[in-house]
Structures are given as C-alpha cells and as structure tokens.
Amino acid sequence: MFNLNNDHELLMRIILGDKEAFTALFKKYSRQLYYIALKYTGKEEDAEDIVQEVFSKIWIVRNCLKPDKQFMPYIVKIAKNKIFNKSKRRLIEMTYLKYKKEVLNVGQDTTEEQLNLKEFKKLVKKEINHMSPKRKEIYRLSREHGLSNKEIASKLNISTSTVENHINKVLNTLRENLKYSSYI
C-alpha cells in the first residue's frame, strides 16, 4: 500500500498509470476543489463539472505531472481556467440568444420584416454553402441543430477550441460579407 498523505508518492504512481493512487488523490482533493469551484461558480452542478474536468485532465496529462511541485495550487489553477472558459462561453451564448431573440423574433414581425428575414436567411445560407465542408458542418451542428461546442467536438472528434475557432471564423465571414446587405 502507499502513503495517502504523500502527494509525491501518489503522483509518481499516477504517472505510472496507477488508478488506485489516482482514486486516492481524487478523494483527498476533490472536496476542497469542489468548494473552491462552488465559490467561483455559485452553482453546485458547475462545481461538480469543474472537479470532474480537472481530474479528467490530470489523468490525461499524468505523464507531465511534476511530483515535486505542490499539487493543490496546480489543480486550483486548472479549475480557475476552466471556470473562466465556461463563463466566457456562457456570456457568448447569452449574447447570441439575446441577439436571436431581438433580431430574429419571427413571431412578432410584420409581413415586410418576415420577407426581409427570409431573404437574409437565404443570403446566410448562400454564404455558408461557399465555406469548407468542415466549417459548414460545424456551423450547422451549432446553429441549426443547437449542439454545444463540446458536443460538436465530441461528435467530430476534434477539440473544443477547434470548434470555437471555426464558429468564430464563420461568424466573422458572415459579418464581413453581409455587412452591406440591406437586410441587416
């Protein structure tokens, strides 16, 4: 058996792929990390997700762990980065939903506005069709099927940042190519 209080020993064993040591480390730090995440997120579900994401990352990058460094500051830094990224993503989603509600609210439009919106959607579709197949697919999964960036990344077996980059490029292209449209 190994010493549960010795992070160095636990980390050395984790580097070698020891799942028991990983479980011991998880049990040792997950509760503390949960309360730190809860303090920043304010939501129990988000705090639980952050803990899972942090420890998933620890297992994935176990070969790069530095057993001589303090472990708690390391996982707190990872957690804060994940919290920041999650907050940033939520802000973008909220901004988009607000935009969608204000600008694309078809139910309350006049006939002329509905025609303009229909024509605008055709222009957007035309622009999307000129994009690369991958970018087109990512855009459709995001905007037409309502999948999150994480879900798209999982479905296409690519990183979440790649999905975000593609969506940003699509939106920038649409903004640039449609900025002189009379429908905007």
> 139-182: per-residue pLDDT in tens?
888 888 888 889 999 999 999 999 999 888 888 887 877 776 65
Domains within the chain, CATH numbers bracketed: 7-85 (1.10.1740.10), 104-178 (1.10.10.10)
> Which of these, 78, 72, 66, 63, lies nearest to 25 by C-alpha position?
72
Buried b (16+ CB within 10 A) or exposed e, 146-173: ebebeebbeebeeebeebbebbeebeeb
What is the chain's alpha carbon radius of gyration, rounded to the nearest angstrom?
A: 22
> 32-85: per-residue pLDDT in tens?
999 999 998 888 998 999 999 999 999 999 999 998 999 999 999 999 998 888
